[in-house]
Amino acid sequence: MHRKQASALLIMLLTALFITGATAKSFNERSESWLEVTDNGQSGISINIDFTTDEINQIGSIPDYSTLTQTDSGIEIPMISRLIALPPGHRAEVRVVNRQSTLHKAGDTRANLTGTGISKQDLSSLRLDPPMPVIAGSVGSVRGVSVTSVSFYPYQYNEEKDEIIENISFEAEVTFVRDNNIQVTRPVRDLPGSDMSRMLDRILLNKPHRDPYSEVQADHRGRILILHQDNDDFGENEQLWVDSLANWKRQMGYSVEILAVNVNVQEGGLTGLEVRNQIVRERYINQEDPLSYLIIIGADSVQQRLWFPTVTDDVSGDHLYSVMVEDNEDDIYLSDIAVGRFHCYDFSELRGA
């Protein structure tokens, strides 16, 4: 019964918070007045959160939050996540230094949602879910740049006393700490102005620390590799279609390479692992122009195995994932390449695609 009351109160709080303002803004927008970030270089970042700004009050609806996460207590709490860049081999530690919060009891009615103030000392004595208003996640990698998620929680639940803490504003220090258990990754030197470098700049609260050359913007958008099988079924018409696709992408500012690959292992062709390690990986780690996009074109049928074979070549099915599967830690790069495919049972479908 208590959890139902707490859930009902949380919905009322969200409704009261978002009911004002006719213009909806998304938390996914880069410009966010509720969030102020100070980049402290290799040591960390400082974060200032103010959930009372006009931007928050004009959201208009709950789905504009990044997500609703279910706590261990079974209460759905709004969570807003952002990514930050880390120095290689580091993790993030978060310390909340200043905080203004309000306490709401689960039995409060819609007419009484003002709540009461609560001191930092009283907050520290409560068992809250989630335990902190901002939490750093595990370390991952995007294009070789070490990243971690930072999640912000406007509300926290105290199951023991059946109360909800509304976080009005707070300041947090995110410190980058050396951790020998974190795999050290080498950032890919994407050309400035390319799709991947712009993507990183958009999704990260603190832009990755680049070399000085990166300050110069270029028109180059990225490198594309188009793979198709080298056999008699891939004829002149199919080649014209692929050439047309490549020329279109080149006109858009991409560097495009077309490569025909013999994947008939019985006739000396390459296995899926060999395609990945000898062709795809080599182009990804290229420091002058690292691979951004991989397009695989082919047909897939029981009779015509035009996708790349698996490690055990007697396995039937879609073999694209045998090319992109990650066997070990060195294959972390595979998740950084955008993969597209045309799945066809007949090459005539290529001409109509």
Q: Which of 178, 210, 229 is the last residue of a domain?
A: 178
What pLDDT shows up at residue 84?
92
Closest CA to 88 of 213, 177, 172: 177
What pLDDT shows up at residue 289?
78
Task: Tell me the pLDDT band of 336, cut-offs 50, 70 and 90.
Answer: low
Q: Is the pLDDT of residue 174 over 90?
A: yes
What pLDDT shows up at residue 22?
28
What is the residue-averaged pLDDT of the chain?
70
Are both 231 and 303 inside the same structural domain? Answer: yes
What pLDDT shows up at residue 10?
44
DSSP state of 269: -
Are both 168 and 26 inside the same structural domain? Answer: yes
Are both 266 and 133 inside the same structural domain? Answer: no
In a domain, 200, yes or no: no
In a domain, 108, yes or no: yes
Are both 16 and 88 inside the same structural domain? Answer: yes
Structure confidence by residue, pLDDT tens digits, 247-278: 888 888 888 999 888 766 667 777 667 777 78
Question: Dihedral through CA 202, CA 203, CA 209, CA 212, nearest 10?
Answer: -20
| pTM of the entire predicted model | 0.62
In a domain, 213, yes or no: no
Q: How many separate domains does the chain show? A: 2
Are both 249 and 157 inside the same structural domain? Answer: no
In a domain, 201, yes or no: no
Are both 106 and 161 inside the same structural domain? Answer: yes
What pLDDT shows up at residue 351?
38
In a domain, 190, yes or no: no
Average pLDDT over residues 286-307: 62
CATH number for the domain that contains residue 262: 3.40.50.10390
Q: Which of 178, 209, 236 is the last residue of a domain?
A: 178
Structure confidence by residue, pLDDT tens digits, 86-130: 998 999 999 999 899 988 876 654 445 566 888 888 888 888 888
Task: Tell me the pLDDT band of 349, cut-offs 50, 70 and 90.
Answer: very low
Q: Is the peptide bond before 130 cis (omega within 30 degrees of 0)?
A: yes
What pLDDT shows up at residue 11?
46
In a domain, 160, yes or no: yes
209 or 164, higher pLDDT? 164
Q: Is residue 258 helix, strand or coil?
A: strand
Q: Is the pLDDT of residue 234 over 50?
A: yes
Cα gap 2→292, rounded to integer Å: 51
Are both 106 and 250 inside the same structural domain? Answer: no
Are both 167 and 226 inside the same structural domain? Answer: no
Are both 149 and 249 inside the same structural domain? Answer: no
**The 3-state secondary structure of 270-320, one letter per residue:** CCHHHHHHHHHHHHHCCCCCCEEEEEEEEEECCCCECCCCCCCCCCCCCCH
What pLDDT shows up at residue 226?
86
Least confident of 66-75, 176-185, 331-340: 331-340
Q: Which of 178, 196, 212 is the last residue of a domain?
A: 178
Are both 13 and 109 inside the same structural domain? Answer: yes
207 or 314, higher pLDDT? 207
Q: Is the pLDDT of residue 213 over 90?
A: no
CATH number for the domain that contains residue 115: 2.60.40
What's at 230, amino acid-wise?
D
Half-sphere exposure at residue 206, Cβ-oriented, CA atoms within 13 angstroms = 26
343 or 187, higher pLDDT? 187
Closest CA to 100 of 51, 45, 150, 164: 51
Dihedral sign, Cα of residue 164, residue 168, residue 171, residue 175: positive
Q: Is the pLDDT of residue 231 over 60?
A: yes
In a domain, 7, yes or no: yes
In a domain, 215, yes or no: no
Q: Is the pLDDT of residue 176 over 90?
A: yes
266 or 76, higher pLDDT? 76
Average pLDDT over residues 4-30: 40
Are both 12 and 116 inside the same structural domain? Answer: yes
Are both 158 and 249 inside the same structural domain? Answer: no
* Residue 31: domain span: 2-178
Q: Is residue 254 helix, strand or coil?
A: strand
